Structure 1
Amino acid sequence: MFNAHPMVTRLAFVASDRPEAIEARGRLARRYGDTPETEAQVVVALGGDGFMLETLHRLMESGKPIYGMNRGSVGFLMNEYSEDDLLERINAAERALIHPLRMTAVDARGVMHKALAINEVSLLRQTRQTAKLRISVDGKVRLAELSCDGALVATPAGSTAYNLSAHGPIIPLDARVLALTPISAFRPRRWRGALLSHTARVTFEVMEADKRPVSAVADNFEVRDVTEVHVAEDRDVGMTMLFDAGRSLEERVLAEQFSA
Protein backbone atom coordinates (compact mmCIF):
# COMPACT_ATOMS: atom_id res chain seq x y z
CA MET A 1 0.00 0.00 0.00
CA PHE A 2 1.26 3.47 -0.85
CA ASN A 3 0.36 4.84 2.59
CA ALA A 4 3.31 2.86 4.01
CA HIS A 5 5.52 5.51 2.37
CA PRO A 6 6.04 9.14 3.44
CA MET A 7 2.92 11.27 3.27
CA VAL A 8 2.50 12.84 -0.16
CA THR A 9 1.92 16.59 -0.15
CA ARG A 10 3.82 17.80 -3.24
CA LEU A 11 2.25 17.13 -6.64
CA ALA A 12 3.28 18.01 -10.18
CA PHE A 13 0.52 18.14 -12.80
CA VAL A 14 1.06 17.32 -16.49
CA ALA A 15 -1.58 17.22 -19.20
CA SER A 16 -2.05 16.00 -22.75
CA ASP A 17 -2.94 18.47 -25.48
CA ARG A 18 -6.66 17.74 -25.21
CA PRO A 19 -8.62 20.84 -24.08
CA GLU A 20 -10.33 19.00 -21.23
CA ALA A 21 -6.95 17.81 -19.91
CA ILE A 22 -5.42 21.30 -20.09
CA GLU A 23 -8.43 22.84 -18.31
CA ALA A 24 -8.31 20.15 -15.61
CA ARG A 25 -4.61 20.80 -15.03
CA GLY A 26 -5.29 24.48 -14.42
CA ARG A 27 -8.06 23.80 -11.91
CA LEU A 28 -6.07 21.14 -10.02
CA ALA A 29 -2.90 23.22 -9.92
CA ARG A 30 -4.81 26.15 -8.40
CA ARG A 31 -6.43 23.89 -5.82
CA TYR A 32 -3.48 21.71 -4.79
CA GLY A 33 -0.46 23.72 -5.91
CA ASP A 34 1.87 22.71 -8.73
CA THR A 35 5.34 21.64 -7.60
CA PRO A 36 8.14 21.40 -10.19
CA GLU A 37 8.61 17.79 -11.33
CA THR A 38 12.10 17.63 -9.86
CA GLU A 39 10.73 18.42 -6.38
CA ALA A 40 7.37 16.65 -6.56
CA GLN A 41 6.71 13.37 -4.74
CA VAL A 42 4.11 12.24 -7.29
CA VAL A 43 3.39 13.30 -10.87
CA VAL A 44 -0.31 13.47 -11.79
CA ALA A 45 -0.89 12.77 -15.49
CA LEU A 46 -4.10 14.02 -17.07
CA GLY A 47 -5.09 12.44 -20.37
CA GLY A 48 -5.63 8.97 -21.80
CA ASP A 49 -3.58 5.80 -21.92
CA GLY A 50 -1.40 7.15 -24.72
CA PHE A 51 -0.41 10.15 -22.62
CA MET A 52 0.25 7.88 -19.63
CA LEU A 53 2.69 5.87 -21.74
CA GLU A 54 4.38 9.09 -22.90
CA THR A 55 4.71 10.26 -19.29
CA LEU A 56 6.09 6.92 -18.13
CA HIS A 57 8.70 7.00 -20.88
CA ARG A 58 9.66 10.60 -20.19
CA LEU A 59 10.04 10.09 -16.42
CA MET A 60 11.51 6.60 -16.62
CA GLU A 61 14.86 7.67 -15.17
CA SER A 62 13.35 9.74 -12.35
CA GLY A 63 11.76 6.89 -10.41
CA LYS A 64 8.82 9.14 -9.49
CA PRO A 65 5.41 7.47 -9.03
CA ILE A 66 2.77 8.52 -11.55
CA TYR A 67 -0.93 8.82 -10.77
CA GLY A 68 -3.09 9.12 -13.87
CA MET A 69 -6.59 10.55 -14.18
CA ASN A 70 -8.63 9.99 -17.30
CA ARG A 71 -9.13 13.08 -19.45
CA GLY A 72 -8.81 11.16 -22.74
CA SER A 73 -10.62 8.56 -24.81
CA VAL A 74 -9.11 5.35 -23.38
CA GLY A 75 -8.43 5.12 -19.68
CA PHE A 76 -7.48 1.55 -18.77
CA LEU A 77 -4.26 2.78 -17.18
CA MET A 78 -5.94 5.80 -15.58
CA ASN A 79 -7.96 6.47 -12.45
CA GLU A 80 -11.39 8.07 -12.62
CA TYR A 81 -11.28 11.83 -12.79
CA SER A 82 -12.32 13.69 -9.67
CA GLU A 83 -11.00 16.94 -8.26
CA ASP A 84 -12.02 16.16 -4.67
CA ASP A 85 -9.82 14.54 -2.00
CA LEU A 86 -6.93 14.05 -4.42
CA LEU A 87 -4.20 13.93 -1.77
CA GLU A 88 -6.21 11.42 0.26
CA ARG A 89 -6.70 9.21 -2.81
CA ILE A 90 -3.02 9.31 -3.70
CA ASN A 91 -1.87 8.55 -0.16
CA ALA A 92 -4.22 5.54 -0.03
CA ALA A 93 -3.34 4.35 -3.55
CA GLU A 94 -1.91 0.98 -4.48
CA ARG A 95 1.38 0.67 -6.37
CA ALA A 96 2.08 -1.28 -9.55
CA LEU A 97 5.74 -1.76 -10.47
CA ILE A 98 6.19 -2.09 -14.23
CA HIS A 99 9.28 -3.47 -15.98
CA PRO A 100 9.63 -2.63 -19.68
CA LEU A 101 10.82 -4.65 -22.64
CA ARG A 102 14.10 -3.67 -24.25
CA MET A 103 14.08 -3.85 -28.05
CA THR A 104 17.27 -4.04 -30.10
CA ALA A 105 16.50 -3.79 -33.81
CA VAL A 106 18.93 -3.99 -36.73
CA ASP A 107 17.83 -2.31 -39.96
CA ALA A 108 18.72 -3.09 -43.58
CA ARG A 109 21.75 -0.77 -43.41
CA GLY A 110 23.11 -2.64 -40.40
CA VAL A 111 22.31 0.21 -38.00
CA MET A 112 21.31 -0.87 -34.48
CA HIS A 113 18.37 0.84 -32.74
CA LYS A 114 17.44 0.43 -29.07
CA ALA A 115 14.23 1.39 -27.30
CA LEU A 116 12.10 0.47 -24.29
CA ALA A 117 8.47 -0.62 -24.46
CA ILE A 118 6.02 -0.59 -21.57
CA ASN A 119 3.20 -2.33 -23.48
CA GLU A 120 4.68 -4.33 -26.33
CA VAL A 121 7.24 -4.70 -29.09
CA SER A 122 5.51 -5.44 -32.38
CA LEU A 123 6.73 -6.36 -35.85
CA LEU A 124 4.45 -5.26 -38.69
CA ARG A 125 4.51 -5.78 -42.45
CA GLN A 126 5.12 -2.52 -44.34
CA THR A 127 3.51 -3.45 -47.67
CA ARG A 128 0.81 -5.68 -49.13
CA GLN A 129 3.32 -8.56 -48.98
CA THR A 130 2.90 -10.96 -46.07
CA ALA A 131 5.76 -10.87 -43.59
CA LYS A 132 7.85 -13.98 -43.05
CA LEU A 133 9.47 -14.30 -39.65
CA ARG A 134 11.75 -16.86 -38.01
CA ILE A 135 11.30 -16.88 -34.22
CA SER A 136 13.90 -18.04 -31.71
CA VAL A 137 13.63 -18.17 -27.92
CA ASP A 138 16.82 -18.15 -25.87
CA GLY A 139 18.85 -18.94 -28.96
CA LYS A 140 16.78 -21.93 -30.11
CA VAL A 141 14.59 -21.70 -33.22
CA ARG A 142 11.02 -22.40 -32.16
CA LEU A 143 9.21 -21.42 -35.35
CA ALA A 144 11.17 -21.72 -38.58
CA GLU A 145 8.73 -19.67 -40.63
CA LEU A 146 5.68 -17.62 -39.65
CA SER A 147 3.74 -16.02 -42.51
CA CYS A 148 1.69 -13.22 -41.01
CA ASP A 149 0.85 -9.56 -40.81
CA GLY A 150 3.23 -9.43 -37.86
CA ALA A 151 3.92 -10.60 -34.32
CA LEU A 152 4.38 -9.04 -30.92
CA VAL A 153 5.81 -9.60 -27.47
CA ALA A 154 3.69 -8.07 -24.69
CA THR A 155 4.29 -7.38 -21.02
CA PRO A 156 1.59 -8.28 -18.48
CA ALA A 157 0.70 -4.56 -18.27
CA GLY A 158 0.41 -4.43 -22.05
CA SER A 159 -1.42 -7.72 -22.44
CA THR A 160 -4.81 -5.94 -22.44
CA ALA A 161 -3.76 -3.54 -25.22
CA TYR A 162 -2.68 -4.50 -28.77
CA ASN A 163 -2.00 -8.06 -27.60
CA LEU A 164 -5.65 -8.54 -26.63
CA SER A 165 -6.83 -7.09 -29.95
CA ALA A 166 -4.64 -9.68 -31.69
CA HIS A 167 -6.40 -12.42 -29.63
CA GLY A 168 -3.46 -12.87 -27.28
CA PRO A 169 -3.89 -13.89 -23.62
CA ILE A 170 -4.50 -11.51 -20.73
CA ILE A 171 -1.68 -11.94 -18.20
CA PRO A 172 -1.90 -11.20 -14.45
CA LEU A 173 0.76 -8.68 -13.41
CA ASP A 174 2.44 -11.07 -10.98
CA ALA A 175 2.57 -14.02 -13.42
CA ARG A 176 6.18 -13.22 -14.49
CA VAL A 177 5.48 -14.26 -18.08
CA LEU A 178 5.42 -12.56 -21.48
CA ALA A 179 2.98 -13.11 -24.34
CA LEU A 180 4.29 -13.96 -27.80
CA THR A 181 1.35 -13.39 -30.13
CA PRO A 182 1.01 -13.60 -33.93
CA ILE A 183 -0.92 -10.93 -35.83
CA SER A 184 -3.18 -12.45 -38.50
CA ALA A 185 -1.12 -15.62 -38.90
CA PHE A 186 -1.50 -17.24 -42.34
CA ARG A 187 0.88 -20.16 -41.90
CA PRO A 188 0.99 -22.05 -39.61
CA ARG A 189 -2.66 -21.05 -39.50
CA ARG A 190 -3.47 -22.73 -36.21
CA TRP A 191 -0.54 -21.27 -34.22
CA ARG A 192 -1.96 -18.96 -31.58
CA GLY A 193 1.26 -17.87 -29.90
CA ALA A 194 3.01 -18.82 -26.67
CA LEU A 195 3.47 -17.80 -23.07
CA LEU A 196 7.13 -17.34 -22.19
CA SER A 197 9.07 -16.86 -18.97
CA HIS A 198 9.78 -13.20 -18.23
CA THR A 199 13.48 -14.10 -18.52
CA ALA A 200 13.09 -15.30 -22.13
CA ARG A 201 15.02 -13.61 -24.92
CA VAL A 202 13.08 -13.54 -28.17
CA THR A 203 14.70 -13.04 -31.58
CA PHE A 204 12.80 -12.31 -34.78
CA GLU A 205 14.60 -12.76 -38.09
CA VAL A 206 12.92 -11.17 -41.10
CA MET A 207 13.03 -13.52 -44.08
CA GLU A 208 13.06 -12.11 -47.62
CA ALA A 209 13.42 -8.65 -46.09
CA ASP A 210 13.91 -6.91 -49.44
CA LYS A 211 10.69 -8.31 -50.86
CA ARG A 212 8.73 -8.35 -47.60
CA PRO A 213 9.82 -5.30 -45.54
CA VAL A 214 8.93 -5.19 -41.86
CA SER A 215 8.94 -2.44 -39.25
CA ALA A 216 9.52 -2.86 -35.52
CA VAL A 217 7.67 -0.74 -32.96
CA ALA A 218 8.45 -0.36 -29.25
CA ASP A 219 5.32 1.43 -27.97
CA ASN A 220 5.53 4.58 -30.11
CA PHE A 221 9.15 4.25 -31.35
CA GLU A 222 9.32 2.77 -34.86
CA VAL A 223 12.21 1.39 -36.90
CA ARG A 224 11.58 0.72 -40.60
CA ASP A 225 13.08 -2.04 -42.76
CA VAL A 226 14.38 -4.21 -39.95
CA THR A 227 16.21 -7.47 -40.55
CA GLU A 228 16.55 -8.71 -36.97
CA VAL A 229 14.88 -7.79 -33.69
CA HIS A 230 15.78 -8.91 -30.17
CA VAL A 231 13.35 -8.51 -27.26
CA ALA A 232 13.88 -9.12 -23.54
CA GLU A 233 12.52 -7.76 -20.29
CA ASP A 234 14.74 -5.18 -18.59
CA ARG A 235 14.52 -5.83 -14.85
CA ASP A 236 16.98 -3.00 -14.15
CA VAL A 237 14.32 -0.45 -15.11
CA GLY A 238 11.16 -0.07 -13.05
CA MET A 239 8.28 2.42 -13.15
CA THR A 240 5.67 2.92 -10.45
CA MET A 241 2.03 3.62 -11.27
CA LEU A 242 -0.52 4.50 -8.60
CA PHE A 243 -4.13 3.30 -8.61
CA ASP A 244 -7.04 4.08 -6.32
CA ALA A 245 -7.56 1.60 -3.49
CA GLY A 246 -9.65 -1.33 -4.70
CA ARG A 247 -9.03 -0.40 -8.35
CA SER A 248 -5.45 -1.63 -8.70
CA LEU A 249 -4.00 -2.55 -12.08
CA GLU A 250 -4.01 -6.19 -10.96
CA GLU A 251 -7.76 -5.96 -10.30
CA ARG A 252 -8.39 -4.33 -13.68
CA VAL A 253 -6.44 -7.01 -15.53
CA LEU A 254 -8.35 -9.74 -13.67
CA ALA A 255 -11.73 -8.09 -14.27
CA GLU A 256 -10.95 -7.76 -17.99
CA GLN A 257 -10.85 -11.56 -18.24
CA PHE A 258 -14.48 -11.75 -17.14
CA SER A 259 -15.83 -8.86 -19.20
CA ALA A 260 -18.42 -9.61 -21.84
Structure 2
Amino acid sequence: MAVDGLSINLATVREQYNMRQAIEACLKQDIVAIAPWRDQVHAIGLSEAARIVADNGLQVTGLCRGGMFPAADAAGRAAAIDDNRKAIDEAAALKADCLVLVVGGLPAGSRDIAHAREMVAEGIAAILPHARATGIPLAIEPLHPMYAADRACVNTLEQALDICDLLGDGIGVAIDVYHVWWDPKLEQQISRAGASGRILAHHICDWLVPTTDLLLDRGMMGDGVIDLKGIRRSIEAAGYQGPQEVEIFSAGNWWKRPGEKVLATCVDRFRSAC
Protein backbone atom coordinates (compact mmCIF):
# COMPACT_ATOMS: atom_id res chain seq x y z
CA MET A 1 0.00 0.00 0.00
CA ALA A 2 1.26 3.47 -0.88
CA VAL A 3 2.24 5.76 1.98
CA ASP A 4 -0.59 8.22 1.46
CA GLY A 5 0.24 11.88 1.95
CA LEU A 6 4.04 11.55 1.89
CA SER A 7 6.41 12.86 -0.76
CA ILE A 8 10.19 12.67 -0.73
CA ASN A 9 12.19 15.59 -2.00
CA LEU A 10 15.12 13.79 -3.57
CA ALA A 11 17.60 16.17 -1.93
CA THR A 12 16.96 14.04 1.15
CA VAL A 13 18.91 11.16 -0.41
CA ARG A 14 20.96 13.01 -2.99
CA GLU A 15 24.28 11.75 -1.61
CA GLN A 16 23.15 8.12 -1.69
CA TYR A 17 21.32 7.88 -5.02
CA ASN A 18 20.90 9.32 -8.48
CA MET A 19 17.31 10.03 -9.54
CA ARG A 20 16.68 6.58 -10.98
CA GLN A 21 18.07 4.85 -7.89
CA ALA A 22 16.16 7.18 -5.55
CA ILE A 23 12.87 6.36 -7.27
CA GLU A 24 13.58 2.63 -7.01
CA ALA A 25 14.36 3.03 -3.31
CA CYS A 26 11.20 5.08 -2.73
CA LEU A 27 9.04 2.48 -4.45
CA LYS A 28 10.47 -0.23 -2.19
CA GLN A 29 9.13 1.83 0.74
CA ASP A 30 5.74 2.29 -1.02
CA ILE A 31 6.45 6.00 -1.53
CA VAL A 32 4.82 7.13 -4.78
CA ALA A 33 5.35 10.89 -4.67
CA ILE A 34 8.69 12.64 -5.22
CA ALA A 35 10.20 16.04 -5.88
CA PRO A 36 13.45 15.98 -7.89
CA TRP A 37 16.01 18.71 -8.36
CA ARG A 38 16.93 19.91 -11.82
CA ASP A 39 20.52 18.70 -11.57
CA GLN A 40 19.24 15.22 -10.75
CA VAL A 41 16.96 15.33 -13.79
CA HIS A 42 19.76 16.60 -16.04
CA ALA A 43 22.11 13.85 -14.85
CA ILE A 44 19.89 11.10 -16.32
CA GLY A 45 18.27 13.22 -19.04
CA LEU A 46 14.85 14.85 -19.08
CA SER A 47 13.28 12.27 -21.40
CA GLU A 48 14.48 9.38 -19.26
CA ALA A 49 13.36 11.11 -16.06
CA ALA A 50 9.91 11.73 -17.50
CA ARG A 51 9.69 8.12 -18.70
CA ILE A 52 10.57 6.73 -15.25
CA VAL A 53 8.02 9.00 -13.58
CA ALA A 54 5.28 8.03 -16.03
CA ASP A 55 6.05 4.30 -16.06
CA ASN A 56 5.79 4.17 -12.27
CA GLY A 57 2.73 6.38 -11.97
CA LEU A 58 4.54 8.79 -9.67
CA GLN A 59 3.25 12.13 -8.49
CA VAL A 60 5.86 14.87 -8.84
CA THR A 61 4.94 17.29 -6.07
CA GLY A 62 7.37 19.91 -7.34
CA LEU A 63 10.48 20.49 -9.39
CA CYS A 64 13.33 22.25 -7.57
CA ARG A 65 14.15 24.84 -8.52
CA GLY A 66 13.65 28.02 -10.51
CA GLY A 67 14.26 31.56 -9.33
CA MET A 68 17.53 33.41 -8.68
CA PHE A 69 16.22 36.49 -10.46
CA PRO A 70 18.28 39.43 -9.10
CA ALA A 71 21.47 40.19 -11.01
CA ALA A 72 23.90 43.07 -11.26
CA ASP A 73 23.11 43.81 -14.92
CA ALA A 74 20.43 43.35 -17.56
CA ALA A 75 22.25 40.43 -19.17
CA GLY A 76 22.26 38.52 -15.89
CA ARG A 77 18.56 39.16 -15.34
CA ALA A 78 17.77 38.04 -18.90
CA ALA A 79 19.80 34.86 -18.44
CA ALA A 80 17.85 34.06 -15.27
CA ILE A 81 14.56 34.54 -17.09
CA ASP A 82 15.67 32.25 -19.92
CA ASP A 83 16.73 29.56 -17.46
CA ASN A 84 13.43 29.80 -15.62
CA ARG A 85 11.52 29.29 -18.86
CA LYS A 86 13.57 26.11 -19.39
CA ALA A 87 12.73 25.03 -15.85
CA ILE A 88 9.03 25.50 -16.58
CA ASP A 89 9.35 23.27 -19.64
CA GLU A 90 11.14 20.62 -17.56
CA ALA A 91 8.41 20.75 -14.93
CA ALA A 92 5.81 20.30 -17.65
CA ALA A 93 7.64 17.28 -19.09
CA LEU A 94 7.59 15.71 -15.62
CA LYS A 95 3.95 16.72 -15.08
CA ALA A 96 5.02 18.37 -11.84
CA ASP A 97 2.47 19.97 -9.55
CA CYS A 98 4.54 23.15 -9.48
CA LEU A 99 7.94 24.72 -10.11
CA VAL A 100 9.44 25.83 -6.80
CA LEU A 101 11.08 29.27 -6.89
CA VAL A 102 14.00 30.16 -4.63
CA VAL A 103 13.99 33.74 -5.71
CA GLY A 104 17.59 34.88 -5.16
CA GLY A 105 19.31 37.37 -2.90
CA LEU A 106 21.37 40.50 -3.36
CA PRO A 107 23.34 40.92 -6.58
CA ALA A 108 27.10 41.06 -6.14
CA GLY A 109 28.14 44.36 -4.59
CA SER A 110 24.58 45.42 -3.70
CA ARG A 111 23.19 46.46 -0.33
CA ASP A 112 19.76 47.36 -1.71
CA ILE A 113 17.42 44.57 -0.65
CA ALA A 114 14.34 46.53 -1.66
CA HIS A 115 15.63 46.69 -5.23
CA ALA A 116 16.42 42.98 -5.15
CA ARG A 117 12.81 42.30 -4.21
CA GLU A 118 11.66 44.48 -7.10
CA MET A 119 13.80 42.40 -9.45
CA VAL A 120 12.20 39.25 -8.08
CA ALA A 121 8.70 40.51 -8.83
CA GLU A 122 9.78 41.67 -12.30
CA GLY A 123 11.43 38.33 -13.04
CA ILE A 124 8.42 36.30 -11.99
CA ALA A 125 6.16 38.58 -14.04
CA ALA A 126 8.35 37.93 -17.07
CA ILE A 127 8.03 34.12 -16.85
CA LEU A 128 4.45 33.93 -15.63
CA PRO A 129 2.83 34.03 -19.09
CA HIS A 130 4.90 31.02 -20.14
CA ALA A 131 4.04 29.19 -16.93
CA ARG A 132 0.33 29.86 -17.46
CA ALA A 133 0.48 28.70 -21.07
CA THR A 134 2.33 25.55 -20.03
CA GLY A 135 0.03 24.82 -17.11
CA ILE A 136 2.75 24.85 -14.46
CA PRO A 137 1.99 26.84 -11.29
CA LEU A 138 4.90 28.80 -9.83
CA ALA A 139 5.48 28.30 -6.09
CA ILE A 140 7.43 31.03 -4.31
CA GLU A 141 9.27 29.51 -1.37
CA PRO A 142 10.04 32.13 1.28
CA LEU A 143 13.35 31.31 2.97
CA HIS A 144 14.49 32.03 6.50
CA PRO A 145 15.99 35.54 6.87
CA MET A 146 19.47 34.04 7.30
CA TYR A 147 19.37 33.47 3.52
CA ALA A 148 18.23 36.98 2.57
CA ALA A 149 21.59 38.06 1.19
CA ASP A 150 22.52 35.06 -0.93
CA ARG A 151 19.54 32.79 -1.61
CA ALA A 152 16.19 34.50 -1.12
CA CYS A 153 15.28 38.08 -0.33
CA VAL A 154 11.66 36.97 0.13
CA ASN A 155 11.67 35.75 3.72
CA THR A 156 8.12 35.57 5.02
CA LEU A 157 4.93 34.03 3.78
CA GLU A 158 3.40 37.50 3.88
CA GLN A 159 6.01 38.87 1.46
CA ALA A 160 5.51 35.93 -0.89
CA LEU A 161 1.73 36.34 -0.86
CA ASP A 162 2.05 40.06 -1.56
CA ILE A 163 3.89 39.15 -4.78
CA CYS A 164 1.22 36.59 -5.62
CA ASP A 165 -1.53 39.16 -5.14
CA LEU A 166 0.37 41.62 -7.32
CA LEU A 167 0.79 39.15 -10.20
CA GLY A 168 -2.50 37.26 -10.20
CA ASP A 169 -3.27 33.74 -11.32
CA GLY A 170 -0.80 30.92 -11.82
CA ILE A 171 1.35 31.61 -8.79
CA GLY A 172 1.32 30.51 -5.17
CA VAL A 173 3.60 29.48 -2.33
CA ALA A 174 5.59 26.52 -1.09
CA ILE A 175 5.41 26.48 2.70
CA ASP A 176 8.60 24.96 4.08
CA VAL A 177 8.41 24.63 7.85
CA TYR A 178 12.19 25.02 8.22
CA HIS A 179 11.95 28.55 6.89
CA VAL A 180 8.71 29.85 8.36
CA TRP A 181 8.10 28.08 11.69
CA TRP A 182 9.35 31.07 13.69
CA ASP A 183 7.07 33.68 12.05
CA PRO A 184 4.56 35.24 14.50
CA LYS A 185 2.20 35.85 11.56
CA LEU A 186 2.43 32.30 10.24
CA GLU A 187 -1.06 31.06 11.11
CA GLN A 188 -2.64 34.26 9.82
CA GLN A 189 -0.73 34.08 6.54
CA ILE A 190 -1.47 30.38 6.07
CA SER A 191 -5.17 31.26 6.33
CA ARG A 192 -4.65 34.06 3.83
CA ALA A 193 -2.89 31.70 1.43
CA GLY A 194 -5.63 29.14 1.72
CA ALA A 195 -8.39 31.66 1.13
CA SER A 196 -6.86 32.59 -2.21
CA GLY A 197 -5.91 29.03 -3.20
CA ARG A 198 -2.21 29.83 -3.09
CA ILE A 199 -0.82 26.84 -1.14
CA LEU A 200 0.96 24.69 -3.71
CA ALA A 201 3.38 22.68 -1.56
CA HIS A 202 4.12 21.81 2.08
CA HIS A 203 7.74 20.91 2.90
CA ILE A 204 8.72 19.31 6.19
CA CYS A 205 11.84 18.59 8.26
CA ASP A 206 12.89 19.91 11.68
CA TRP A 207 14.99 22.67 13.25
CA LEU A 208 17.70 21.27 15.46
CA VAL A 209 18.98 22.89 18.65
CA PRO A 210 21.82 23.47 18.30
CA THR A 211 22.06 23.79 14.52
CA THR A 212 25.66 23.33 13.44
CA ASP A 213 25.26 24.45 9.81
CA LEU A 214 22.47 26.76 8.70
CA LEU A 215 22.20 25.12 5.27
CA LEU A 216 23.25 21.51 5.75
CA ASP A 217 22.04 20.54 9.23
CA ARG A 218 18.31 20.12 8.90
CA GLY A 219 16.72 17.63 11.27
CA MET A 220 14.53 14.60 10.74
CA MET A 221 10.95 15.25 11.78
CA GLY A 222 10.58 14.88 15.53
CA ASP A 223 14.23 15.60 16.32
CA GLY A 224 13.85 19.36 16.69
CA VAL A 225 11.58 22.14 17.90
CA ILE A 226 9.09 22.77 15.07
CA ASP A 227 5.41 22.22 15.85
CA LEU A 228 4.92 20.04 12.78
CA LYS A 229 1.47 18.77 13.74
CA GLY A 230 0.23 22.27 14.53
CA ILE A 231 1.45 23.70 11.23
CA ARG A 232 -0.04 20.77 9.36
CA ARG A 233 -3.40 21.38 11.02
CA SER A 234 -3.29 25.04 9.98
CA ILE A 235 -2.34 24.21 6.39
CA GLU A 236 -5.02 21.55 6.05
CA ALA A 237 -7.62 23.82 7.67
CA ALA A 238 -6.70 26.38 5.02
CA GLY A 239 -7.70 23.87 2.35
CA TYR A 240 -4.45 22.21 1.28
CA GLN A 241 -4.84 18.44 1.11
CA GLY A 242 -1.71 17.53 -0.86
CA PRO A 243 1.31 15.57 0.32
CA GLN A 244 3.83 16.67 2.90
CA GLU A 245 7.21 16.68 1.19
CA VAL A 246 10.23 15.68 3.27
CA GLU A 247 13.22 17.87 2.35
CA ILE A 248 16.33 17.32 4.48
CA PHE A 249 19.82 18.65 3.82
CA SER A 250 22.05 16.87 6.31
CA ALA A 251 25.73 16.62 5.41
CA GLY A 252 26.80 15.42 8.84
CA ASN A 253 24.03 12.92 9.54
CA TRP A 254 21.32 11.70 7.16
CA TRP A 255 23.36 12.00 3.97
CA LYS A 256 25.89 9.64 5.57
CA ARG A 257 23.37 6.91 6.36
CA PRO A 258 22.19 4.14 4.01
CA GLY A 259 19.47 5.53 1.79
CA GLU A 260 16.97 2.78 2.56
CA LYS A 261 17.27 3.53 6.28
CA VAL A 262 16.77 7.25 5.67
CA LEU A 263 13.61 6.61 3.67
CA ALA A 264 12.29 4.13 6.23
CA THR A 265 12.85 6.73 8.95
CA CYS A 266 11.02 9.34 6.85
CA VAL A 267 8.01 7.02 6.64
CA ASP A 268 8.10 6.28 10.37
CA ARG A 269 8.46 9.92 11.41
CA PHE A 270 5.82 11.06 8.93
CA ARG A 271 3.40 8.72 10.68
CA SER A 272 4.46 9.52 14.24
CA ALA A 273 5.70 13.13 14.31
CA CYS A 274 3.71 14.91 11.62
Q: What TM-score does the superposition give when structure 2 sets the normalisation length? A: 0.27
Q: What TM-score does the superposition give when structure 1 sets the normalisation length? A: 0.28
Q: Which has the larger radius of gyration?
A: 1
Instruction: Compare the two structures and name the one with the higher helix fraction.
Output: 2
Instruction: Compare the two structures and name the one with the higher strand fraction.
Output: 1
